[in-house]
Chain A
Amino acid sequence: MWICKNKLLFKVIFSSLLLIFLISCSSDSGEKNVDQFTNTSEKVLSEKKNNNNIVSAGKQLNVLYSDPPTLDPHRAQDSTSAGIILEIYSGLVSLDTNLQIIPDIAESWAISNDGMKYTFKLRDNAKFHNGKKITSADFVWSFNRAANPATTSITAEDYLGDIVGVQDVIDGKTDKISGIKLIDELTLEINIDSPKAYFLAKLTYPVSFVLDSENVKNKNWTDSPNGSGPFMLDEYLIGEKLLLKRNPDWYREPAKIEYVSMNLAGGQAMAMYENGEIDLTGVGMADLERVLDPSSDLNKDVVIAPLSFSQYYIGFNVQKPPFDDKYFRQALAHAINKELIANEVLSGMVKPAYGILPPGFPGYDKTIDGLKFNEQLAKDMLAKSKYSNINDLPRLILSVPGTGGSAGLDIEVIIEMWKQTLGIEVEIQQVEWATFLQMLNRQELQFFSGLGWIADYPDPENFLDINFHSTKSTNHNGYKNEEVDKLLESARIEQDLNNRMQMYNNAERIIVDEAPWIPLWFPGDRYVLINQRVKNYKLTPMSVPKYSLVEIVD
């Protein structure tokens, strides 16, 4: 009986295995079709490598990246997309790795005396990736496309809105921007509505880039874009990888490496770096100590990245009680010991912020002291405010975006400091991102944190005007101060650089003192690991084209 039963067991297992084998074989055929897709492309890649002497495996930079929401420069508005778009496409002017405006497709330009007419002279040798020459007509077409409502560009108003006639195109009144004139094949004239010093900086943004009208006609054209940048899109598998290939005929100095391979599948960056799968990675708090240890193998790869042009803050809705009282806001600001939190809680990864503009940013004024930690002053300010009797305070709810369950250690400590110094109780409410944005835009939040402002271009206007001018929709605080408004408005068109920065400094002083938001942190030293074989990889506080400068030595 035993033998018999065992035999049965054997047969059952055998037949199940056979069944599984059959199923897996039949699923294999479907499998191969899909996998072939990836395998062929890799095979093609390795064949290319074998056929061409310049191209060696060592000339490929490997990075971890995420899927770009779009590769259409006119529709992009996020830094993930921009990081790739800046390498594939180009425009009249560009930013170098020191964030200076440099000629790109335009080899030179002239600005009229009134500061409202820009005449660009294009390079004679600028070509799209397919070899087609870039002329002023391409730029005229591209600007018109960017502003056309059918393009649904989110950034057209902000970045092109200064150009005469752009608003009419956006509004659908016409489809030609009246302020952009084609002078000849290589000369382009752009008229703006008032002499704005930051206009040229805005032209470095992707929405001003040139596109090939023939290419854009194709369906899903961003899968094979005919750009004009130092790299061409060689392969893009959503969620897997994106491969950029050097454009050998670039009109400026062509890239030194052959490929940039972006891993889009995600993974543990540190582990991948140590395995040699990627050439660079940021260092998180968890790995910091290990990496900074001089005896560690990784220590020689450590590079300190420049501060990014951003700031984290707590924003108040100054229209809602109790935050309608300046003294109450000041009391809260004085009660926070930022130095303690930055050093003890956040391991020195951030720098305490007292002003609005980040260090190194144009117009940064180190004499702006801000509201420093001072318990006595905090208590005095509270006593001076309408809400000196804290028992009469409304329920205070600080909203933070996210779904992680924690508002962040820094916020938790700040709330504890408020409680200890001022006796004020604050509740935390975590709101899912989309809902948070809706409440923020409708100014429904009492006060909020977990947000950072990141500059889009290096001009104080992009920090102060956009966040604190009373008419801006990005002023989520409901902050309104006529003097500040006036200063910001005159700074927009002031031609003298020193006067202009002085105006911004004056506005910043008032804003910091009135505290519609409490500046918390500028990102501090960011440690990055870069493999020794990679040379000349520039870390910049903003997205700029940079892969063409990279060299790889073996």
Chain B
Amino acid sequence: MWKYIVGRLVWIPFLLIAVAFITFILGRFGPGDPVEVMMGTKYNPVVAERIRSEMGLDKPVMVQFYKYIQSASKGDFGESFRFRGRSVSSLIAPKMIVSAKLSLVALLISISIGLPLGFYIAHKQGTWIDPLIVSFSVFFMSIPIMITIPFLLWIGCLKTNLVPCSGWGGIFDSRIIIPALAMGIPGVAGMLRIMRATTLDVLGQDYIRTAQSKGLHYFTVSTRHVFRNSIIPIVTILAFSLAGLLGGAFITETIMGIPGIGRFSVESIFNRDYPVIMAITLIGATAFVIANLMADISYSIIDPRIRYK
């Protein structure tokens, strides 16, 4: 087990360097140039050359990449090209927190509706309730967020004035309701269907029949045997959703005027703010790799039969 974990950990830096390298090369060789964006229509090649050399952009790409990895490995992501004189970390940290808060609330909505409902309809297999709820959830999953948000805004803000139309005030602010609902409801279907499938699978297992024939109370069977075993695959989804928390949601953040990381990443790409793009990609990749590892490890904790060699 430990050998397995260490083996996985050793690979992480190589994986991240590969991700960093691809992002770096794409930025440097793609069209557009950060200094030109900085200068806008008042471009002056002489000045641009001076700024480029001062920022180290005139050096060979491999030298730039080496220098970048060197400082990034110490946690120094450099200075933003667009917000001049500001460190990348001071820019993205507050925005990541905003996105994480929003996604966490959205995730809680998906879980708190999806899991119990999935568990419930698994027990209702064969009745009309099961297909009805599944089709409803799939219906909501299929509506793109570009439609749900304006619809929710129309009802919640314009017609009833229950919540403000846009903006951000943290988790305990009414402005989070619409974006969190819009992001959380499509997730219900995924949670619900996986929960339903795994519950059905578990219900058909021999050990459940054994437990029932032992005369255990229905509730004990459900919680100790069925629920615990059905939840394993959910852990995988949860882990990846948690990694997604840092990635933010571009569309929602843009429509709702939320100062999160999703909106900021896209703005940074348009501004060719390489240090910011690199940092966001690297943090996202790290979160993803670690979440993946944690999911694998948690399997063996929830189900002792799963062992890694």
The docked-state distance in angstroms from the alpha carbon of A266 to that of B271 is: 19
Contacts of B47 in A (CB 8 A): 154, 156-157
Count of A-B contacts judged by CB separation below 8 Å: 156
Nearest B residue to A39, CB-CB:
B170
Q: Quick one: which of A106-136 are within 8 Å of B by CB?
A: none
B36 CB–A CB distance under 8 Å: yes
Residue contact A75 to B115, C-beta cutoff 8 Å: no
Name the contact of A157 in the complex, choosing from B40, B44, B54, B116 (C-beta under 8 A). Answer: B44
* A154 and B108 in contact, given A31-B101, A72-B84 (Cβ under 8 angstroms): no
Residue contact B40 to A16, C-beta cutoff 8 Å: no
Residue contact A77 to B42, C-beta cutoff 8 Å: yes
The docked-state distance in angstroms from the alpha carbon of A154 to that of B82 is: 13
* A435 and B95 in contact, given A239-B259, A265-B168 (Cβ under 8 angstroms): no
Residue contact A434 to B36, C-beta cutoff 8 Å: yes
* A434 and B218 in contact, given A31-B171, A69-B82 (Cβ under 8 angstroms): no
Residue contact A438 to B38, C-beta cutoff 8 Å: no
Annotate A255-269 by CB proximity to B: 1 below 8 A, 0 otherwise. Answer: 000000000111110
Residue contact B54 to A150, C-beta cutoff 8 Å: yes
Contacts of B86 in A (CB 8 A): 70, 220, 222
A223 nearest CB across to chain B (Å): 9
Nearest A residue to B34, CB-CB:
A434
Residue contact A438 to B41, C-beta cutoff 8 Å: no
The prevalent SS among residues of A at the interface is helix
Residue contact B84 to A7, C-beta cutoff 8 Å: no
A217 CB–B CB distance under 8 Å: no
Nearest B residue to A264, CB-CB:
B259
Name the contact of B55 in the complex, choosing from A12, A152, A220, A238 (C-beta under 8 A). Answer: A152
B94 CB–A CB distance under 8 Å: yes
Contacts of B170 in A (CB 8 A): 31, 34-35, 38
How many chain A residues touch B (CB < 8 A): the figure is 61
- Size bracket, chain B contacts: 35 or more
Residue contact A266 to B55, C-beta cutoff 8 Å: no
B165 CB–A CB distance under 8 Å: yes
* A265 and B85 in contact, given A237-B94, A473-B43 (Cβ under 8 angstroms): no
Name the contact of A433 in the complex, choosing from B37, B84, B87, B97 (C-beta under 8 A). Answer: B37
B154 CB–A CB distance under 8 Å: no
The docked-state distance in angstroms from the alpha carbon of A31 to that of B46 is: 48
Residue contact B101 to A474, C-beta cutoff 8 Å: no
* A222 and B85 in contact, given A265-B168, A268-B166, A434-B271 (Cβ under 8 angstroms): yes
A289 CB–B CB distance under 8 Å: no
Interface centre among B33, B40, B85, B171 (most CB of A within 10 A): B85
Contacts of B115 in A (CB 8 A): 16
Residue contact B111 to A20, C-beta cutoff 8 Å: yes
The docked-state distance in angstroms from the alpha carbon of A186 to that of B46 is: 35
The docked-state distance in angstroms from the alpha carbon of A220 to that of B101 is: 27
Contacts of A264 in B (CB 8 A): 259
Residue contact B85 to A20, C-beta cutoff 8 Å: no
* A72 and B108 in contact, given A31-B171, A441-B36 (Cβ under 8 angstroms): no
Contacts of B104 in A (CB 8 A): 27
Name the contact of A432 in the complex, choosing from B32, B33, B39, B54 (C-beta under 8 A). Answer: B32
Could you write out 7 A-B pairs with CB less than 8 Å apart? Answer: A24-B108, A34-B97, A239-B259, A264-B259, A265-B259, A271-B165, A473-B46
Give the 7 A-B residue pairs with the shortest CB-CB distance, closest first.
Answer: A434-B32, A239-B259, A266-B257, A70-B84, A435-B31, A473-B44, A441-B43
Q: A267-B257, A434-B271, A437-B43 are in contact. List 13 more A-B contacts (CB 8 A).
A: A8-B219, A9-B120, A17-B112, A20-B111, A152-B51, A152-B84, A239-B95, A239-B259, A265-B257, A433-B37, A434-B270, A437-B33, A474-B43
* B interface list, Cβ under 8 A from A: 31-33, 36-47, 50-51, 54-55, 82-87, 90-91, 94-95, 97-98, 101, 104, 108, 111-112, 115-116, 119-120, 123, 165-168, 170-171, 218-219, 222-223, 227, 257, 259, 264, 270-272
